[in-house]
């Protein structure tokens, strides 16, 4: 399986780590998977670009390990590390907004890519919702970084999440409507993003062509 | 913002209550009369005992190491770490898939059997219809699946399936994975698993520094996995072992005694591979 490793966006890693990752992709039993996991997670929490795509390399390693040894050591370490970070997310948010945003992006990306029998991992559904709900809180809506993260995740995994648990999606959108309507001090960009996501979901996780023109026509120019 | 665990942990929980033997307090609670002969009232003490029984007077170790885990695993009902939750989820999904495949195979076999009967007009004895006899209790199936996985996660099993392809297996001589979908009593099932694993030891990799003691020690470990407390469950039906399963045990014993090097079974540290319902 010759996937160009550029696909995995690992250029931001130091050279030794890159070699380790490339080996993990081809021959997982020959490397220390806990260490590989650690490197990936650490980088995901620092690098905004990588956190958006880290799910893919994780998925490939999980598959490679399953095929080679039938094990899922890497996945286990990954999930448990995710859980650790989840448990201290409030602390993380306070000390570094960027790390918090990276974490949410990362966990959503994992949710998107790592499936179990082609179904999303049930164990992650509530944690992901918890993160998104946090982003929809009034104090988070005042930060464009957090709003941006929130709408990005909903674009990518909103439909899957809703299928997994519709009630919590309803709750999330109650908060979003409230924020849009009632919260003072939101920037016009924030309100634009919120309005777009409200329309996006209302349209069944698809934006009508007219709405698309409204929101994105300036980009096309 | 607390993390809510998804429901449907009842499977794992009932699994756990299956395993638990809380020693005297469990049984004394069930007794209608106390030691002094008076009827027991449902007092707080009892409830406490029951609660305590689960946590403290459990007569077995509070943790145990499974082949898959890196270290001691707590005995609490539901796994709280995501790694284990996802593994359980995967096991449950695999189980559903297996169940459907098994039902299809049984139905197909029954149809064929019925067709043959009507065409030949014979009244040959037919196996009690498997379709009526499928075990469906999910918690039980999961437990059985775990027991099977322990046996399959061994070098012995790997070597066995490489050496003997399924179609070459001779009943009685070659170990056959117990069929988790058949209805068996708990004792019968546990016994089948034990015998199966004992037979698999014949394919253990040769090891230097052989001791029969080591082999016995590992068999003891396997016995520990069986819920000995459940012997208290009085099963009036005798283990439904077939002839073929009894005979090879004797054969195996003698071969083990003949060998100088029993070979220490080596458990491979890998977690459950995707299970292929092993019935042929």
Residue B172: which region, alpha, beta or left (left: phi > 0; alpha: psi -120 to 50)? left
Range of weakest confidence among A74-78, A122-126, B86-90, B212-216: B212-216
A contacts of B81 (beta carbons < 8 Å): 79-80, 83
Q: Is residue A103 within 8 Å of residue A128, measured between CB atoms? A: no
Nearest-angstrom CA–CA distance, B34 and B23: 16
Of A73, A116, A127, nearest to B90 by CB-CB distance is: A116
Q: Is residue A62 within 8 Å of residue A74, measured between CB atoms? A: yes
Top-confidence residue, B124 or B111: B111
Nearest-angstrom CA–CA distance, B75 and B280: 35
Residue B220 has pLDDT above 70, yes or no: no
- For residue A168, the chain B residue with the least C-alpha distance is B4
Judged by a CB distance cut-off of 8 A, whether residue B101 touches chain A is: no
Range of weakest confidence among A30-34, A163-167, B185-189, B224-228: B224-228
Judged by a CB distance cut-off of 8 A, whether residue B85 touches chain A is: yes
Contact B93 A72 (CB under 8 A): no
Q: What is the pLDDT of residue B26?
A: 54
Q: What is the pLDDT of residue B21?
A: 44
Residue B69 has pLDDT above 80, yes or no: no
Q: What is the pLDDT of residue A40?
A: 97
Distance of CA B115 to the CA centre of its chain: 35
Of A73, A123, A134, nearest to B86 by CB-CB distance is: A123
Q: Which contacts (CB < 8 Å, 24+ apart) does range B48-52 have?
A: B49/B25, B50/B22, B50/B25, B50/B26, B52/B25
Nearest-angstrom CA–CA distance, B209 and B253: 20
Q: Which contacts (CB < 8 Å, 24+ apart) does range B14-17 have?
A: B14/B139, B15/B77, B15/B139, B15/B142, B15/B143, B16/B75, B16/B76, B16/B77, B17/B77
| Averaged pLDDT, groups of 10, chain A, 221 residues long | 64 93 94 96 96 95 90 95 97 97 98 92 97 97 97 97 97 97 95 96 95 84 51
The full set of domain ranges for chain A reads 12-86, 117-220
Top residue of B81, B83, B95, B268 to mutate, by most chain A CBs within 10 Å, is: B83
Range of weakest confidence among A105-109, B124-128, B182-186: B124-128
Top-confidence residue, B133 or A201: A201
Using the 8-state DSSP alphabet, how is residue A31 labeled? Answer: S
Q: Is residue A65 within 8 Å of residue A28, measured between CB atoms? A: yes
Q: What is the pLDDT of residue B245?
A: 43
Q: What is the pLDDT of residue B68?
A: 52
pTM above 0.80, yes or no: no
What burial class does residue A155 get, using C-beta atoms within 10 Å of its C-beta: 0-12 exposed, 13-18 middle, 19+ buried? middle
Tokens 């590989």 map to which residue?
A: A36
pLDDT-based confidence at B190, cuts 50/70/90?
very high
Instruction: Find residue B154's DSSP bridge partners.
Output: B267
Contact A116 B273 (CB under 8 A): no
Q: Over range B186-193, report the average pLDDT.
A: 95
| Nearest-neighbour CA in chain A from B91: distance (Å) | 10
Nearest-angstrom CA–CA distance, B47 and B135: 33
Contact A79 B273 (CB under 8 A): no
Top-confidence residue, B21 or B110: B110
Instruction: Return the CATH architecture of domain A117-220.
Output: Alpha Horseshoe (1.25)
pLDDT-based confidence at B253, cuts 50/70/90?
very low
Judged by a CB distance cut-off of 8 A, whether residue B56 touches chain A is: no
Q: What is the pLDDT of residue B114?
A: 83
pLDDT digit string, tens, across residues B15-60: 444 444 444 555 555 555 556 655 555 444 444 444 444 444 445 5
The CB-side HSE value for A121 (13 A sphere, CA atoms) comes to 25
Q: Is residue B151 within 8 Å of residue B157, measured between CB atoms? A: yes
- For residue A86, the chain B residue with the least C-alpha distance is B3
Residue B94 has pLDDT above 60, yes or no: yes
Integer-rounded Cα radius of gyration of chain B: 22
Q: What is the pLDDT of residue B249?
A: 40
3-class DSSP assignment, residue A203: coil
Neighbours of B106 (CB within 10 A): 18
Q: Among the ranges B134-138, B176-180, B258-262, which has the highest mean pLDDT value?
A: B176-180
3-class DSSP assignment, residue B80: coil
| Nearest-neighbour CA in chain B from A84: distance (Å) | 9
Q: What is the pLDDT of residue B74?
A: 53
Contact A124 B82 (CB under 8 A): yes
Provide, rounded to the nearest whole percent, the portion of chain B with pLDDT above 70: 41
Nearest-angstrom CA–CA distance, A24 and A32: 9
Top-confidence residue, B44 or B176: B176
Handedness of CA B67, B73, B77, B79 (dihedral sign): negative
Q: What is the pLDDT of residue A13?
A: 93
Residue B197 has pLDDT above 70, yes or no: yes
Mean pLDDT of chain B: 66
Residues of A near B (CB-CB distance < 8 A)? 66, 69-73, 75-77, 79-80, 82-83, 86-87, 90, 116-117, 119, 121-127, 130, 133-134
Q: Is residue A107 within 8 Å of residue A152, measured between CB atoms? A: no
Contact A122 B85 (CB under 8 A): yes
List all residues 6 or more positions away from B29 whose beta carbon is below 8 Å from its beta carbon: B46, B49, B50, B53
Contact A134 B85 (CB under 8 A): no
Q: Is residue B166 within 8 Å of residue B135, measured between CB atoms? A: no
A contacts of B82 (beta carbons < 8 Å): 79-80, 82-83, 123-124, 127
Of A80, A86, A134, nearest to B83 by CB-CB distance is: A80
Nearest-angstrom CA–CA distance, B196 and A3: 43
Q: Among the ranges A133-137, B64-68, B166-170, which has the highest mean pLDDT value?
A: A133-137
ipTM of the complex: 0.88
Distance of CA A219 to the CA centre of its chain: 24
Q: Over range B247-261, report the average pLDDT.
A: 42
């Amino acid at each position: 399986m010759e996937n160009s490793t550029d696909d995995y966006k690992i250029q931001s890693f130091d050279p030794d780590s890159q070699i380790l990752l490339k080996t993990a992709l081809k021959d997982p039993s020959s490397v220390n998977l806990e260490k590989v996991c650690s490197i990936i997670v650490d980088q995901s929490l620092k690098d905004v670009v990588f956190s958006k795509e880290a799910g893919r390399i994780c998925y490939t390693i999980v598959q490679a390990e399953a095929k080679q040894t039938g094990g899922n050591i890497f996945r286990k370490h990954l999930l448990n590390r995710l859980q650790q970070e989840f448990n201290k997310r409030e602390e993380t948010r306070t000390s570094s907004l960027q790390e918090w945003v990276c974490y949410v992006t990362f966990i959503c990306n994992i949710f998107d890519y790592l499936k179990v029998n082609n179904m999303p991992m049930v164990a992650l559904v509530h944690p992901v919702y918890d993160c998104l709900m946090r982003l929809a809180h009034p104090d988070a809506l005042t930060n464009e970084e957090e709003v941006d993260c929130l709408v990005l995740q909903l674009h990518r995994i909103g439909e899957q999440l809703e299928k997994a648990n519709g009630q919590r999606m309803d709750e999330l959108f109650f908060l979003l409507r409230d924020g849009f309507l009632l919260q003072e001090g939101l920037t016009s960009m924030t309100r634009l993003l919120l309005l777009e996501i409200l329309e996006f979901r209302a349209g069944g996780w698809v934006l009508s062509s007219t709405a698309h023109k409204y929101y994105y026509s300036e980009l096309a120019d | 913002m607390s993390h809510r665990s998804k429901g449907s942990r009842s499977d794992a929980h009932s699994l756990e209550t299956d395993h638990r033997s809380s020693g005297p307090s469990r049984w004394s609670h069930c007794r209608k009369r106390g030691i002094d002969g008076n009827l027991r009232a449902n007092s707080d003490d009892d409830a406490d005992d029951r609660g305590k029984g689960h946590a403290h007077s459990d007569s077995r170790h509070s943790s145990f190491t499974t082949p898959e885990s890196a270290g001691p695993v707590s005995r609490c009902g539901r796994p709280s770490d995501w790694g284990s939750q996802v593994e359980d989820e995967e096991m449950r999904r695999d189980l559903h898939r297996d169940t459907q495949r098994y039902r299809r195979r049984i139905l197909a076999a029954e149809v064929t059997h019925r067709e043959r009967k009507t065409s030949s007009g014979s009244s040959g004895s037919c196996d009690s219809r498997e379709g009526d006899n499928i075990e469906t209790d999910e918690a039980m199936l999961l437990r059985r699946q775990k027991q099977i996985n322990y046996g399959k996660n061994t070098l012995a099993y790997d070597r066995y399936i490489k050496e003997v392809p399924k179609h070459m297996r001779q009943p009685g001589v070659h170990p056959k994975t117990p069929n988790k979908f058949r209805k068996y009593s708990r004792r019968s099932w546990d016994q089948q698993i034990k015998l199966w694993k004992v037979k698999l030891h014949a394919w253990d990799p040769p090891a230097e520094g052989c001791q029969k003691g080591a082999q016995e020690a590992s068999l003891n470990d396997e016995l520990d996995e069986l819920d000995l407390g459940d012997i208290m469950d009085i099963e009036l039906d005798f283990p439904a072992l077939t002839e073929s399963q009894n005979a090879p045990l004797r054969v195996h014993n003698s071969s083990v005694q003949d060998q100088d090097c029993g070979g220490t079974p080596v458990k491979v540290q890998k977690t459950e591979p995707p299970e292929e319902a092993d019935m042929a």
